[in-house]
Structure formats: C-alpha cells, structure tokens
C-alpha cells in the first residue's frame, strides 16, 4: 500500500533577538569605525544561513548606536516588533557585552549563563563576538551595550521572573532563525513528517520537541534525519499521528525539562498551559525516600537543569531512568498502547541522563544493528 504524503503549509520564518543583537552590533561597530552608516547588514547564523537585516544607525564622536526591529515571522511571539539597540564604544582589551535597559541579568544558577551576567545565551553571544571580530583590528576592543526599550515590562509576561532573570528580556536563539509556532497552523504542518518518514522506510521514529534535540539526535547519536520528527509542544498530537499512521515504535527524545512533563501526564507542553516540572520531580524524589530538604530544594530550583545535582546528591542513582520509564508508560496509555514507546532524557549538553529499557533497545538496534 502506498503512503500518501500530505502537503506542508509553508509558514514565514523570522529572526531571533540574538540575530537582531548581532546585526545591530555589527552596524554600530561599522559606524564607530567610520566605515559607513549602513541601512542593512549581513550576518551569518549558526545554521549556515546568511541574513540581511535592516538597521538604523546613529553616530557621535566616540560612540555609535544601531537598532534592529525584530520580525518573528508567523510566530506568535510577544517580542515581535521590539527594538534591539546596541551602543558601541571602542575600548582597550577584549570585547565586552553589557546589559542595558530592558535586558535581563541572571541571578540564579542552573541557566547556561553565569549568575551576574547579562541574560544573553551562549549562541547569541558567540554570534555577536564573531561579527565584532571580523571588524576589529588585532588587540582592539569594544564595549557593546544591548538594550531593549520596554523590555522590562515585556519580561513580566515571560518565564524570566521565575527563572531569576531580572530587569528585562533575554537575548535568545540557537539557530538565529525563528521557526513559526502558531498553534493550529504549526500543529497541522508537523504531521506530514510522519508519513514522509514512513515513506523513507523508517519503522521506528524519534519524536523530539525542539531543534536542539533534533540536531543532537542526528549529529551526536547518528539517527537518520528523516526519522527524527519535530513535535514542538504538541507531543500528544504527534503520538496520535504516529499511532494513526501505523507506526509501531517511537523514541521520545529531548531535554528533561520538556519531557519530564510527559511523565506527569502532560502532552501539550507549552509553559503557559502546563508546567509542573519541579512538582513532578519533587513528588517522585520524595516517593523514593529523599529527605525533605532535597524536595524543598527541587521545588525552589529555577530550572530542571538545576535539579540534576540535587537528584545526584539524593543517592537515587536510577532516578532519571525511572522517570524516563514513567514518561513512556504515560505516552503508551495516551495512545491506548497502540505504540511501543521509549524515552531518553538529555541535559543541556546533549548528554543522556536517563533512558528506559525500550530506549536502550531502540538505540542499540538503530545505531549498532
């Protein structure tokens, strides 16, 4: 029987706050060096794409400022349309990146940015430094202050206050590109991945919520790109799509901070709809005999990543394997056991911290069979 591949509706991509900051930094440095006052600049993204973004630039005697207006494409992002400003001043020493008004500062551990530093994630920081390095002379430094007018007010509508990021928004992005995440349109656009994978001959599919997990599965663990299905927050919807299409086995694959929700029976994982990550971990840690102090520490943790050491110190060495197994059982129940499900939980480095028996079997068969 032939497999019918459904058409995919193309949604318009946008660019991240990280790309905005990198482009504004480049334009400000160009103006500061009196090379030009550009109205557009080109930057390279980690995904290999070149972006050409419109900029607005002003220059004074010893400083220059550029701004880029964020375009999130078809993504319903509250930061769409914000202005990302970068002010550049030449200085001795290395490139310094500072948080101006509207850009947050990290105050709690557990994030990929050290406490006390501007909330600029590693990939955007690297993009900014790369653009600066291409313009500066050897040994020449520059101070780059990033600001976002209205960022402090907008940040109150994000997870930043709960994560301990104070004073404004974060500069984010792992690829430099915003992938559209509008609910109905994007959910529908995800489903054809399943029929395409089946048409390519894959019997076991890997479901992962995000681009980072997708990339790690392919580049670090050798899964076929065609077999790795992006679910976004719609894990339940894609599980049902797999079951409806006749898929017999899937591997849930991704960061523990997202998949731990599945262990709690949550299958639409958007943080505004359902969270409970710390509560799920704390409940099962307590059930395993952890002390009250450890349970309270988990509940007070800003991220799941920050709970890893707490769990490690609790002595429950198989905790994450157990949680992976629980996620698989919940997922199986969700589709009335029409699928065999395995789960692998990763940390931010892409390392597997927990997996169940089915996940081990899938990885062994797929990678070494």
Do 331 and 197 sit in the same domain of this protein?
yes
| pLDDT over 80 (residue 110) | no
Q: What's the full length of the chain, in residues?
A: 369
pLDDT at residue 16 in the model: 94
User: Is there a domain that residue 315 lies in?
Assistant: yes
Do 266 and 209 sit in the same domain of this protein?
yes
Mean pLDDT value of segment 129-133: 96
End-of-domain residue from the set 178, 210, 228: 178
Do 268 and 138 sit in the same domain of this protein?
no
| pLDDT over 70 (residue 7) | no
Three-state SS letters, the chain: CCCCCCCCCCCCCEECHHHHHHHHHHHHHHHHCCCCCCCEEEEECCCCCEEEEECEEEECCCCEEEEEECCCCCCCCCCCCCEEEEEEEEEECCCEEEECCEECEECCCCCCCCCCCECECHHHHHHHHHHHHCCCCCCEEEEEEEECCCHHHHHCCCCHHHHCEECEECECCCCCEECCCCHHHHHHHHCHHHHHHHHCCCCEEEEECCHHHHHHHHHCCCCCHHHEEECCCCHHHHHHHHHHHCCCEEEEEEEHHHHHHHHCCCCCCCCCCCCCHHHHHHHHHHHCCCCHHHHHHHHCCCCCHHHHHHHHHHCCCCHHHHHHHHHHHHHHHHCCCCCEEEEEEECCCCCEEEECHHHHHHHHHHHHC
| pLDDT over 80 (residue 9) | no
Compute the mean pLDDT over every residue in the chain, rounded to the nearest whole number.
Answer: 92
pLDDT at residue 1 in the model: 44
| pLDDT over 80 (residue 266) | yes
Distances (CA, A) of 74 to 171, 183, 192: 19, 11, 19
pLDDT digits 0-9 by tens, 51-90: 999 999 999 989 999 999 999 987 778 899 999 999 999 9
Do 161 and 188 sit in the same domain of this protein?
no
Do 319 and 295 sit in the same domain of this protein?
yes
pLDDT digits 0-9 by tens, 354-363: 999 999 999 9
Do 27 and 131 sit in the same domain of this protein?
yes
pLDDT digits 0-9 by tens, 245-257: 999 999 999 999 9
Among 16-30, 40-54, 87-101, 103-117, name the one with the lowest average pLDDT. Answer: 103-117
End-of-domain residue from the set 127, 157, 178: 178
The CATH number covering residue 135 comes to 3.30.2110.10
184/174 Cα distance (integer angstroms): 24
Q: Where does the pLDDT of residue 345 fall: very low under 50, low under 70, confident under 90, or very high at 90 and above?
A: very high
| pLDDT over 90 (residue 100) | yes
Mean pLDDT value of segment 22-41: 93
User: Is there a domain that residue 4 lies in?
Assistant: no
Q: Where does the pLDDT of residue 29 fall: very low under 50, low under 70, confident under 90, or very high at 90 and above?
A: very high
User: Is there a domain that residue 188 lies in?
Assistant: yes
Among 83-92, 107-116, 321-330, name the one with the lowest average pLDDT. Answer: 107-116
Which one has a higher pLDDT value, 359 or 196? 359
pLDDT at residue 2 in the model: 52
| pLDDT over 90 (residue 12) | no
pLDDT digits 0-9 by tens, 233-244: 999 999 999 999
User: Is there a domain that residue 1 lies in?
Assistant: no
pLDDT at residue 326 in the model: 99
Do 305 and 195 sit in the same domain of this protein?
yes
User: Is there a domain that residue 5 lies in?
Assistant: no
Q: Where does the pLDDT of residue 192 fall: very low under 50, low under 70, confident under 90, or very high at 90 and above?
A: confident
Among 106-115, 128-137, 231-240, 316-325, name the one with the lowest average pLDDT. Answer: 106-115
191/210 Cα distance (integer angstroms): 15
Number of domains in the chain: 2
Do 129 and 276 sit in the same domain of this protein?
no
The residue range of the domain holding 276 is 183-368
For residue 150, count other CB atoms closer than 10 A to its CB.
Answer: 14
Do 144 and 212 sit in the same domain of this protein?
no
Do 37 and 106 sit in the same domain of this protein?
yes
User: Is there a domain that residue 289 lies in?
Assistant: yes
User: Is there a domain that residue 247 lies in?
Assistant: yes
Query: What percentage of the chain has pLDDT greater than the value 70?
Result: 95
Do 106 and 199 sit in the same domain of this protein?
no
End-of-domain residue from the set 178, 195, 214: 178
Do 296 and 224 sit in the same domain of this protein?
yes
User: Is there a domain that residue 7 lies in?
Assistant: no
Q: Where does the pLDDT of residue 4 fall: very low under 50, low under 70, confident under 90, or very high at 90 and above?
A: low
105/63 Cα distance (integer angstroms): 24
| pLDDT over 70 (residue 264) | yes
């Amino acid at each position: 029987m032939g497999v019918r591949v459904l058409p995919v509706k193309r949604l318009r991509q946008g660019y991240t706050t990280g790309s905005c900051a990198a482009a504004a930094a480049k334009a400000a440095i160009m103006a500061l060096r009196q090379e030009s006052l550009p109205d557009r600049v080109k930057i390279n993204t980690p995904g290999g794409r070149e972006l050409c973004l419109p900029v607005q630039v002003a220059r004074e005697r010893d400083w220059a400022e550029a701004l880029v207006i964020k375009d999130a494409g078809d993504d319903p992002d509250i930061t769409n349309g914000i202005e990302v400003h970068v002010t550049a001043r030449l200085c001795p020493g290395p490139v310094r990146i500072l948080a101006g008004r509207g850009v947050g500062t990290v105050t709690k551990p557990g994030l990929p940015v050290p406490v006390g530093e501007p909330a600029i994630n590693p990939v955007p920081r690297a993009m900014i430094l790369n653009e600066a390095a291409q313009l500066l002379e050897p040994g020449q430094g520059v101070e780059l202050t990033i600001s976002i007018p209205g960022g402090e007010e907008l940040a109150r509508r994000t997870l930043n206050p709960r994560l301990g990021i104070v004073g404004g928004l974060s500069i984010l992005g792992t690829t430099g590109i915003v992938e559209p995440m509008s609910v109905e349109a994007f959910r529908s656009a995800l489903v054809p991945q399943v029929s395409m994978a089946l048409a390519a001959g894959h019997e076991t599919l890997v479901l992962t919520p995000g681009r980072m997990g997708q990339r790690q599965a392919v580049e670090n663990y050798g899964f076929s790109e065609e077999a790795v299905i992006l679910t976004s927050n719609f894990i339940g919807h894609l599980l049902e799509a797999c079951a409806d299409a006749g898929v017999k086995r899937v591997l849930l694959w991704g960061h523990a901070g997202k998949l731990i929700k599945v262990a709690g029976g949550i299958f639409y994982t958007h943080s505004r709809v359902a969270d409970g990550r710390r509560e799920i971990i704390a409940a099962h840690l307590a059930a395993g005999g952890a002390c009250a102090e450890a349970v309270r520490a988990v509940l007070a943790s800003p991220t799941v990543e920050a709970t890893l050491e707490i769990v490690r110190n609790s002595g429950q060495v198989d905790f994450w394997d157990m949680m992976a197994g629980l996620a698989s059982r919940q997922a199986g129940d969700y589709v009335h056991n029409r699928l065999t499900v395995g789960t692998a939980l990763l940390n931010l480095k892409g390392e597997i911290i927990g997996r169940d028996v089915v996940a081990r079997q899938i990885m062994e068969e797929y990678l070494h069979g």
